[in-house]
Amino acid sequence: MTNRPIIGIPTQTQDAQPGTLPRCWIMSQRYVNVLANAGAVPWLVPLLHQDTETLRAIYDHIDGLFLTGGVDVDPSRYGEEKHPMCGRTDPDRDATELQLVRWAIEDGKPILAVCRGFQVLNVAFGGTLFQDVGEQYPHALKHDHFPKSDGTPPRDYISHKVRVAPNSRLASYLGTNQAPVNSMHHQGIKQLAPGLAANAWAPDGLIEGIEGTNGKFLIAVQWHPEELAQSDAGMRRLFTAFVEASIGEQKEPRTKIASTK
């Protein structure tokens, strides 16, 4: 029997499909499943940034915040004009995630973020992004190994290794200073925000991991560990450590659920 923490996962907007579907909020099942397997109760969060009272009520019920991959962060969020290589954005998602991050930082709630979430976290703290790494970052290696329609490369395709800072919280979970990772992004951190410390780098020097400096559980990586967790014990530990930290944030007892894990 275990008290399972509730982890909030903000969704993404799917545009209406005339005659088929109205505008929807969606999220990949992969994120939900990896958190459930780690012992959490995943809770999909609608993009209710214009209804602060309802969004706050949802936030007050979660024990940790998980930020996933997705579309590009709108450059206006970090004071830049949109570059021609910047892709589709989701203003409602930007606003909702940035608000949730600010609340979580104020309260010290655990945060784990991947890919887009890694970038959102840097922006929330006051940092900036390369709108397209290939165009704006000199000598960049290929980071955008997005699967094609035929599924190649697969989402767990190892693109490169990252160098991990030996004394970082990230290294303690991954159990290595050289981690092989997948890579499905075309944006990245340009200016690292105050209050965050870099803890992993790609071979071309691009920051691929960050963590908070205030002792709270706040970790973000540029790759997709949810695609590697089944085969890589270190990637699984990222999620189990996050869930364990979130258990410590519970303000009241949860319904006890028999674990099948």
Query: What is the domain-level CATH number for residue 220?
Result: 3.40.50.880
* Residue 198 counted as domain residue: yes
> In 3D, which of 67, 13, 11, 61 has the Cα closest to residue 41?
61
Is the confidence at residue 249, as pLDDT, over 80? no
- Quote the percentage of the chain above a pLDDT of 70: 94
Is the confidence at residue 252, as pLDDT, over 60? no
* Residue 253 counted as domain residue: no
- Measure the CA–CA gap between 155 and 128, rounded to whole angstroms: 27
* Residue 118 counted as domain residue: yes
pLDDT at 100: 98
* Residue 112 counted as domain residue: yes
Exposure string of 195-222, with b = 16+ CB inside 10 Å and e = fewer, is ebeebbbbebebbbbbbbeeebbbbbbb
Entry pTM: 0.94
Asked if residue 5 lies in contact with residue 243, where contact means CB atoms within 8 angstroms, the answer is: yes
Look at the block and give the residue holding tokens 């997005």.
146
What separation in angstroms does the CA of 19 have from each of 16, 23, 79? 9, 11, 38
* Residue 252 counted as domain residue: no
Give the helix, strand, coil percentages of the chain, each rounded to 5: 30, 25, 45
Structural domain range at position 82: 6-247
pLDDT tens profile 210-236: 999 999 999 999 999 999 999 999 999
The residues annotated as belonging to the active site are 115, 224, 226
Overall domain count for the chain: 1
Is the confidence at residue 251, as pLDDT, over 70? no
Angle ∠(242,189,33) on CA atoms, nearest 5: 30
pLDDT-based confidence at 3, cuts 50/70/90? confident
Pairing label, strands 41-45, 64-67:
unpaired
* Residue 261 counted as domain residue: no
Is the confidence at residue 108, as pLDDT, over 70? yes
* Residue 24 counted as domain residue: yes
* Residue 255 counted as domain residue: no
pLDDT at 2: 63
